[in-house]
Structure 1
Amino acid sequence: MSATMIKEFRLPDLGEGLTESEILSWKVDVGDTVSLNQVIAEVETAKAVVELPSPFAGVIKELHEQPGSVVEVGKPIVSFEVADDAGGSPSVPSGAPPADAASNSGDTPKREPNLVGYGAVVESSGRPTRRARNFGPVAGLVETQPVDFPTPVEPAPTAAVVSAQAETKPAERPRSTPPVRKLARDLGVDLLQVPGTGPGGLITREDVQHYAGQAEQPAAITAGRAPAGGTGAGERETRTPIKGVRKHTAAAMVQSAFTAPHATEFLTVDVTPSLELLAKLKDSRAFAGIKLTPLTLAAKAVLIALRRTPALNSRWDEEAQEIVTFHYVNLGIAAATPRGLTVPNIKDADALPLPQLAQALAELAETARAGKTTPADLSGGTISITNIGVFGIDAGTPILNPGEAAILGLGAVRTMPWEYRGEVALRQVLTLSLSFDHRLVDGEQGSRFLADVGAILAEPGMVLTMV
């Protein structure tokens, strides 16, 4: 019988630079035999749901985390029992670099394989140490933020007070992570009173919940029951942890709203000719089996209009103090998913003819609804469209996707009285809402772009004058 050894798989950073992920589900159980690169779990980062492949071929020995757990990058999540081949080298993912000679020597600690090659050297403690930070005397919550209020003049302290202050030892802030500190604040727990059971005395979520005397509730933390004599309807408020896609979206929107100076313009357009064109295309052999919607034509109109106003397909590089103008279009489409708003994009959309563009839009929507959008699909966008019309909304002021110069909102198509050939007739009308970064796009450029998109949708034959 060949010898075996136990190998731990630590949560990788997936190449995104993120600090934590949530375990959504395990695809394996303890005792299962798995092969190299077999999918063993689904995790949700701040950007997307990702499938984790196994870095080893062997038997599942232990699952260290349960579904719903938020795990820091680098923390063990599963242990494998693998064959100890001659040199004791574990199986590694395909594409991982070979271990160098020094890593096999007795003087250098071995580095563990992960999804992006080989990670940092694993210290004996299993966790990098951090320099302790000292603070002054703390009462109540341990985290406070300075506020620049006028400081009232107080009398000088007496000698007795000075002596007492000199004898007070500065309190050391307990070691914990931001999510744990947030949980402590929600539960009204003073972290100075909580003993840490994690590595090096780290305070974990379980420590806080145990101290607060309540069981873990991964989905929501509820508080504030109905007062005596009230309706008896139960809990009066629900607190849901801010994490995953929702947390990332919120941070991105705040960054965008307070970094890029937004300007928004509106244009209402008679799109009856575009809807008539869609009806004809659906009956044509070239579009058989392809889903066509007003979004399809609007996306193509955006791609054509960008050729005349490339400023809307650019990015402000603050660090380099440069304006980056893209000569390709990665077209983002805002998608509402069960886990929150995402903006996946179609790479090189400007190079796709209409049938392929329509197919790409359909696949993007299906993938987003299934929660299978990859981090690569969510990065690198250059301009976006948000279709608020599907919710019955006519217009809005879209917030830019960070790093992009513009976003176009499509309103609902409505049958309305409209001036047509000198008379009033019932026509199909929608409103376009264009938000743009005023550092990159002047009002004239934004107006010309919006007018071009509107002209194409109002009369698709106008394309002949623009290309």
Structure 2
Amino acid sequence: MTVKEFALPDLGEGLTESELVSWKVAVGDTVQLNQIIAEVETAKALVELPAPYEGRVSQLFVEPGVTVAVGERIVAFEVGAAEDAAEEPAAERPEVAPAVDAAATADAPEPNLVGYGAKADSATRPQRRARPGIVTVSVQTETKRHTVAGERPRATPPVRKLARERGVDLASIPGTGERGLVTRHDVEAFLAAPAAPAAHLATSAETPSAVPGARETRIPIKGVRKATADAMVRSAFTAPQATVFLTVDATPTMELLDRLRAGTDTRERRPGLLTVIAKALCIAVRRTPEVNASWDDAAQEIVQFGYVNLGIAAATPRGLVVPTIRDADALGLGDLAASIRSLAETARAGRTSPEAMSGGTITITNVGVFGVDAGTPILTPGEAAILAVGAVRRQPWEHRGDIALRDVLTLALSFDHRVVDGEQAARFIADIGRIVADPASVIALV
């Protein structure tokens, strides 16, 4: 039997760290190859980690809520003893990982990266060289190490938060984790004791700020929120941005949508306003390709794209994400509607992959779903334009020389003024507005 440690792999897209959201296994569990063992949150998405080995989970090095660097160990497996572990009574299972056969571990191939799963037969894979600085073998010789008097107790941020919320002084709790780490179980066991001495209660300086009725709440800046903030600052202070607005009578489009919905068999392919505007954008790009472009500072070139990879800004419980519909200009209304719906559902579930949020050429953000009429959206880094779609309002509007109640909305286009001139931006948004006001006008633009 050998013990193999699994480090957080490179998840791609230049990501260097991830937050461990939850474990799907516990110490002592027997896992199968490619079984999902954990969820981690990158700066872009939730990612499931598959088991790289078949065996028994012997140790979890990281608790949920902790941010882990790529290459840092997160779990250890006892490999080659799965059947023995399954048959052995739980009370008799060893709590300590046995010494590792270093030679055997060095010869064993590493698991491949997340998203591809582990391969059942790795005999034909070339051996990878171990990355410098990453621990691949360890020997554990004791089950408990308590905090030394006078030292700041070792605990992860979630455990410290739990202790603050429950008014417990961590220094009074013996840590049973690795190197004296105070775990959540240690805190809960302390609280479950018959009576906790008064001296063990936290001082007023440790009173939590994130409690009901508190005057302040501190929220760690990490994950999607951190990535979004970095991207917006980079975009706002790199590209000179300007915005043009257009208010348009969208009544003909709303009437068209009523007819299209009535004739659509499946809900997935039923177009909405965003679908029509996305299609209008793809058509308008043909006449004004300057908006579907990027500024390459290193090469001192403007790159114009002959395709539209359309980013759709989506508000999710985890923050703002911008997944991409690739080659959106090649899709009809039904396929575009299905793509937008699938993209939104995946984003809200937190399952959008990092790859799906890269490679965009132009973006749409639908602020109208929040009842907002207009705004000045900030560019997605690397793109030259972003279109904001406002709410549809039933209001008085000039129509055929008279005043009538019409469905009116406002479009806002922010653009990189290094790449796009004001005239080009105005022509582009006017083309989109013309399609929304008169869908038949697309014939003149195609």
Aligned to 1:162: none
1:36 aligns with 2:15: no
Q: 1:31 to 1:305 in 2, by over 3 A?
A: same
Distance (Å, rounded) in 2 between the aligned partners of 1:245 and 1:385: 19
* Counterpart code for 2:108: S
Aligned to 1:116: none
* Local SS of the residue matching 2:37: strand
Select 1:335's aligned residue among 283, 293, 314: 314
For residues 194-343 of structure 1, the aligned pairs below 5 Å read: 222-223=208-209, 235-285=214-264, 290-343=269-322
* Counterpart code for 2:54: A
| Structure 1: 5+ residue stretches without partners | 104-109, 112-118, 127-178, 188-201, 207-212, 226-232
* Local SS of the residue matching 1:23: strand
- Per-residue CA deviations over 1:365-406 (Å, capped at 9, x if unaligned) read 111111111101111111001100011111110000111110
Select 1:82's aligned residue among 65, 75, 79: 79
- Number of equivalenced pairs: 362
Q: 1:222 to 1:398 in 2, by over 3 A?
A: farther
Distance (Å, rounded) in 2 between the aligned partners of 1:10 and 1:214: 36
Aligned to 2:66: 69
Coordinate RMSD, CA, aligned: 3.2
Aligned to 2:348: 369
- Per-residue CA deviations over 1:174-210 (Å, capped at 9, x if unaligned) read xxxxx99xx9xxx9xxxxxxxxxxxxxx9x999xxxx
- Per-residue CA deviations over 1:192-237 (Å, capped at 9, x if unaligned) read xxxxxxxxxx9x999xxxxxx998xxxx994499xxxxxxx85321
Aligned to 1:26: 23
1:55 aligns with 2:74: no
Distance (Å, rounded) in 2 between the aligned partners of 1:337 and 1:221: 31
Q: 1:98 to 1:252 in 2, by over 3 A?
A: farther
* Identity percentage of aligned residues: 58
Distance (Å, rounded) in 1 between the aligned partners of 2:62 and 2:15: 18
- Per-residue CA deviations over 1:297-320 (Å, capped at 9, x if unaligned) read 011100110111111111111111
* Local SS of the residue matching 1:299: helix
Aligned to 1:424: 403
* Local SS of the residue matching 2:236: helix
Aligned to 1:10: 7
Q: 1:100 to 1:392 in 2, by over 3 A?
A: closer
* Local SS of the residue matching 1:307: helix
Q: CA deviation at 1:439?
A: 0.5
Aligned to 2:382: 403
Aligned to 2:335: 356
Cα contact 1:223–1:236 (8 A) shared by 2: yes
Q: CA deviation at 1:342?
A: 0.7
Cα contact 1:287–1:355 (8 A) shared by 2: no
* Counterpart code for 1:251: D
For residues 425-440 of structure 1, the aligned pairs below 5 Å read: 425-440=404-419
Distance (Å, rounded) in 1 between the aligned partners of 2:207 and 2:249: 49
Cα contact 1:314–1:440 (8 A) shared by 2: yes
Q: 1:39 to 1:368 in 2, by over 3 A?
A: same
Distance (Å, rounded) in 2 between the aligned partners of 1:361 and 1:61: 43
Q: CA deviation at 1:430?
A: 0.2
* Counterpart code for 1:89: A
| Structure 2: 5+ residue stretches without partners | 82-100, 112-117, 139-155, 165-178, 184-199
Distance (Å, rounded) in 2 between the aligned partners of 1:13 and 1:5: 24
* Local SS of the residue matching 1:235: coil
